[in-house]
Structure 1
Amino acid sequence: MAASINNGSSGYDRTAEMKKFDDTKMGVKGLSDAGVTSIPDFFIQPPEILADLKSKATDMIDVPVIDLSLINSPPHRSKLVQQVKEAAKTWGFFQVINHGIPISVIDDTIAAIKDFHSQPYEVKSKYYNREEGRGVMYASNNDLYRTKAAQWIDTLQAWMGPEPPAPEEIPEACRKEVIAWDVYGSKVAENLMELFSEGLGLEAGKFKELTFLEKKALVAHCYPPCPQPDLTVGIASHTDPALLTVLLQNHISGLQVKHDNTWVNIKPLRGALVINIGDLLQIISNGEFNSVQHRVLANSSKEDRISVVMFFNINKWKGDDNHYGPLPELLSPENPPIYRNFTIQEFVENFYGKGIDSKSLIQKIKI
């Protein structure tokens, strides 16, 4: 199929073409491995996105890198709390090193996810489905039928809490590594949520008490080489709806974050984890922490880009009315709420009712 922006005048049926692609269950990895030289039309981004892609990102500044090695040392912990708080407020993104996860575990996890995505179609296609929000799901473009243009990405997703899948539901190629990474990634998230809690003037265990780490999804992305990376994206610009995101990536670059209205490349650091604030944490902190736009470019290299993301969410919503909003402990006459309370139904409908985009929930509930 020719890669040209189609205005529909030639009888091009976008929905039919997407379904045809989806029904193959081969994903964009299948297209890439087949050696396609042009991308299907429905992957071509709208003109405004293409124009933004042409604005060159900067390498002149870097997201903060925070060393967690002294997290349990009382003399150093207060300094660490301030570093994390400042990064969450000014950037919404940072990388952590010396987080306690062995480099062998990191390498094994990336290799296992790459192995899954590199399996023959006949093996991995049996996991292909679009049942979002529970269990194990493998698909290309989770929001394929809700978005203006598809993205050059395949994803394996497993909901690891509060009710993890049975081990046999996880693909054998990465089963052991996914189960192990859930434990390791969750420990890093717990440590960080303690630092965030202290940074807000709360007890270290406050967020854990509020079940802020119990609902979690492990999402393993593959961004295969794209023949026309200037016409599409790996993931469109968006903010994460969750509380906190912990991301592991291989050495292939592509992740960008928007800082002071400029796109900044996040350079992969061997052994480091990328941490970012989600919309829920911005709301709960009453704007003290910042959920920012980020995106992933389509892969222009000759090797698959692999990332393993863990999203952490609230499990039990507060009170009989099932609402959440800024924590009351953070509010005062001098610091009134800037967001209204909202329900889990609003949250879910906002996420699953559209494609990946910017912080629409925050915009909707801002007072």
Structure 2
Amino acid sequence: MTSSKFETNDDILDFVIKKANGIKGLVDRSLEIIPNQCIQPKEHRLDKSQIDNQESIPTIDLSNFNDLNVEKSIQEAATKWGCFQIINHGIPIEVLEDLKDAAHKFFELPAEEKVKYCKDCYSACESVLMFWSAIGEKNENVLEWRDSIKHGCNPQNDSNLWPPQTR
């Protein structure tokens, strides 16, 4: 494997997933050529002509959480959009900013540290944090441009299991 090119599919999977460099690791390498494994086939790409620019991601107000319309709005947004914005959830902005900061710190960790939390490498009993990269469906041949973490949160019981940078 050269410094700017991956010779085989196994090389890129090893670098991105098994060694926990993630897609961020690819970006940090300033590759001159995007690996074929990271290019979606045309038939799987978003058709921009089908996007309605008049619509926006749904915003769901949780101030009246017990209202059945809230549940219906969440179901509709998840079905149609796959995402939504929640307002009036009661989580202080400082907590949300701390969460984003912790995520950024995690992704800046060296791969040798992140691999300890790799989805395929850890024992569920040992960690409340799970890291995975680039995989959508199990048998996909194309890597998604994403790195993800799932961070459990029960600071009174398990914060010692988090990497120090994310506590």
Q: Compute the TM-score of the two structures, normalised by the length of structure 2.
A: 0.70
The answer as to 2:31 corresponding to 1:39 is no
1:3-29 deviation digits (Å, cap 9, x = unpaired)? 9xxxxxxxx742454235434421111
Note closer, same or farther for the CA distance 1:119–1:60 as it changes in structure 2 (3 Å cut).
same
TM-aligned CA deviation for residue 59 of structure 1: 3.0
> Retained in 2: the 8 A contact 1:139–1:156?
yes
* Bigger proportion of residues as helix: 2
* Bigger proportion of residues as strand: 1
Q: More deviation in 55-64 or 35-44?
A: 55-64
Superposed, 1:83-98 pairs within 5 Å as 84-92=70-78, 94-98=84-88
User: Which of structures 1 and 2 has the bigger CA Rg?
Assistant: 1
Note closer, same or farther for the CA distance 1:160–1:88 as it changes in structure 2 (3 Å cut).
same
* Count, aligned residues: 156
1:143-185 deviation digits (Å, cap 9, x = unpaired)? 5862131111112234569xxx84333211113xxxxxxxxxx
Corresponding residue SS for 1:42:
helix
CA distance in 2, matches of 1:54, 1:88: 25
Note closer, same or farther for the CA distance 1:65–1:133 as it changes in structure 2 (3 Å cut).
farther
Superposed, 1:116-135 pairs within 5 Å as 116-131=106-121, 134=124, 135=127
> Retained in 2: the 8 A contact 1:28–1:140?
yes
The answer as to 2:132 corresponding to 1:146 is no
> Retained in 2: the 8 A contact 1:133–1:159?
no
Superposed, 1:74-223 pairs within 5 Å as 80-82=67-69, 84-92=70-78, 94-131=84-121, 134=124, 135=127, 136-142=129-135, 146-158=139-151, 166-175=158-167
> Retained in 1: the 8 A contact 2:135–2:144?
no
> Retained in 1: the 8 A contact 2:118–2:130?
yes
> Retained in 2: the 8 A contact 1:87–1:94?
no
TM-aligned CA deviation for residue 81 of structure 1: 2.3
| Structure 2 residues not aligned, in runs of 5+ | none
CA distance in 2, matches of 1:168, 1:89: 36
Which one-letter code corresponds to 1:139 in the other structure? W
Extract structure 1 runs of 4+ deviating beyond 6 A.
none
| Structure 1 residues not aligned, in runs of 5+ | 4-11, 72-76, 176-367
Note closer, same or farther for the CA distance 1:120–1:85 as it changes in structure 2 (3 Å cut).
closer
CA distance in 2, matches of 1:15, 1:106: 37
Corresponding residue SS for 1:113:
helix
Q: Compute the TM-score of the two structures, normalised by the length of structure 1.
A: 0.36
CA distance in 1, matches of 2:105, 2:62: 30
Corresponding residue SS for 2:132:
strand
1:215-255 deviation digits (Å, cap 9, x = unpaired)? xxxxxxxxxxxxxxxxxxxxxxxxxxxxxxxxxxxxxxxxx
CA distance in 1, matches of 2:159, 2:150: 14
Which one-letter code corresponds to 1:141 in the other structure? A
TM-aligned CA deviation for residue 102 of structure 1: 0.6
CA distance in 1, matches of 2:24, 2:136: 17
CA distance in 1, matches of 2:166, 2:130: 14
Which one-letter code corresponds to 1:25 in the other structure? A
Which one-letter code corresponds to 2:161 in the other structure? E
CA distance in 2, matches of 1:57, 1:2: 35
User: What is the percent sequence identity of the aligned residues?
Assistant: 28
> Retained in 1: the 8 A contact 2:21–2:111?
yes
After superposition, the CA RMSD in angstroms is 3.5
CA distance in 2, matches of 1:168, 1:65: 35
Note closer, same or farther for the CA distance 1:117–1:56 as it changes in structure 2 (3 Å cut).
farther
Larger relative contact order, structure 1 or 2 (CA cutoff 8 Å, min sep 6)? 2
